[in-house]
Amino acid sequence: MFDDTFAGVHHLDFFDWALLAPYFLLLVILSFYGVHRYEMIRRYFRHKKEIPREAAVHFETLPRVTIQLPLYNERYVVERLIEETAKMDYPKHLLQIQVLDDSTDDTHPFTVALVREYQAAGVPIEYRHRTNRHGYKAGALQEGMQTATGELIAIFDADFLPPRDFLMRTVHFFTDPKVGVVQTRWSYLNRHYNLLTEVEAMLLDGHFVIEHGARFGSGLFFNFNGTAGILRASMIEDAGGWQHDTLTEDSDLSYRAQLKGWRFVYVPSVDCPSELPVDTYGFQVQQSRWAKGLTQVAIKLLPTILRSKLPLRVKAEAFFHLTPNISYPLMLIVSALMLPVMIVRFYMGWFQMLTIDMPLIVASFCSIWAFYLLAQHELHPKSWKRAVVLMPTLMAAGVALTVINTKAVIEAMLGIQTSFARTPKYAIGDGSIKIANTQYRRRSGWLPYAELALGTYFVFMIAFAIETWNFAAIPFLLLFVGGYYWAGFTTLYQEYQGRLRWKRERELALEKTAA
């Protein structure tokens, strides 16, 4: 038991300050990003009425459009992607569909045959296959530009289902010659597939509703999301083309283009259905790729942005937009310091804990609740209250990303290049169909064990909080226990299930061969 005789009269020594100073410095930095979320909310509500639902002026003669469909080993979703794209309501003589396939598995021959069927039916579709993945998605898009005939380039990733009226609702914004990109909102085919997909949808809704709405409405820079959008071909060329020195080629191009003076338009009234990752590690891999890529863009372009003649508010927002993932390594350090800091502060009394900690907690964590709940209220006014129940899970999911995103950010800062890690798609909707094939699953390695170790560390912190009667800290600590244990245990369980399926499939194959 800890003796509280000296609580409130403890004098800090050098060791105490060596713990407390970095701890509070990191909390202050994290709180700045929390305050920024409040600023996003303020800007959204101030400008949301200025966000257009449709173009004010229409073309008299429609422009030529090229639709690019970048693929890499997408056997389970490519058929529905091409089927829906072929239904696009746009004059065929003004349309070109490019299937840009880097696949190394049976997606390649399957898609070749599929494209030939649509060509025979009169669909203006062509197939391009690369035998290498040079530049990954950015490289495929750039090579596609060599034969693209469209003035405008629409891009859809393999897991998206473009609405039939997508082009007719977006191309007319390009009557303004300064418009370089029109970005639409993502929606989700499998939002209610499991708890993870519900949380993922809430996270992305916050980005598409509040962030995009606030930035576009305020005249600030925002990014093309790499899919479900349409770009002016001359803008891509003017901005330097698709470059593959970052893992988020879309954000890289977006900032280079806006630095050149191109205007981006956000149209949330047009939504494009997509598929969310359904397994924990797939979600983590996707998020870490985005975290590393955005950090790479920050390192690459922030010096240019800050030296430019842009207004200070644009520079400040670009900084906050490109650097939020630094919060992951900072949070990991805060996590490591939390137990020794709790021990030191036990002897310092409660008053200064309330006066110092509470403002930081409100700035850092309450802003998360406000940000994501308001996004749900705006998007789903009749059913948003379910989001209140899911908020602890959303925060735990954020904790579950801490380790893998910290690794991603450190790699970006050290200049360590890694391959483009695709997110497996399985053509899963909201029904009860479960994944039956493990071909595209990635192995998580050491990650779940590190997460379980961190979860256990926070269990010890909860035990200490109970012993010292610090019950107010327990709900906060439980989020960390839940987040790390959820990530670690679900990843190991899903990989175990995958191994069992692979073993059964192999046994069945051997039985058929023997027969």
Active-site residues, by number, are 102, 250
Please count the helices (runs of H) and the strands (runs of E) in the chain: 19, 7
Task: Note the residue count of the chain.
Answer: 515
Q: What is the DSSP letter of 128?
A: E
Helix (H, G, I), strand (E, B) or coil at 362: helix
Residues forming a β-bridge with 188: 274
Alpha carbon distance 286, 277 (integer Å):
8
What is each CA distance from 394 to 227, 274, 332, 389, 391, in whole angstroms?
A: 24, 20, 18, 10, 5
Alpha carbon distance 251, 225 (integer Å):
7
Q: Give the count of beta carbons closer than 10 Å to the beta carbon of residue 31.
A: 18
Which amino acid makes up residue 176? D
Which amino acid makes up residue 262? W
Which amino acid makes up residue 8? G
Q: Return phi, psi of residue 408, to 5°.
A: -65, -45
Helix 280-307 with 195-205: angle, nearest 10 deg: 10
Helix 14-47 with 327-346: angle, nearest 10 deg: 130
Tokens read off for 226: 């790499």
Q: Give the count of beta carbons closer than 10 Å to the beta carbon of residue 106.
A: 11
Which amino acid makes up residue 2? F
User: Is residue 165 a contact partner of residue 89, using CB atoms and an 8 Å limit?
Assistant: yes
Alpha carbon distance 50, 42 (integer Å):
14
Strand 125-129: give its sheet, edge to edge.
125-129, 95-101, 65-71, 152-155, 229-232, 179-188, 263-274
Alpha carbon distance 497, 482 (integer Å):
22
Tell me what percent of the chain is helix, strand and coil, each rounded to the nearest 5.
60, 10, 30
Query: Token match 């797939």: residue?
Result: 282
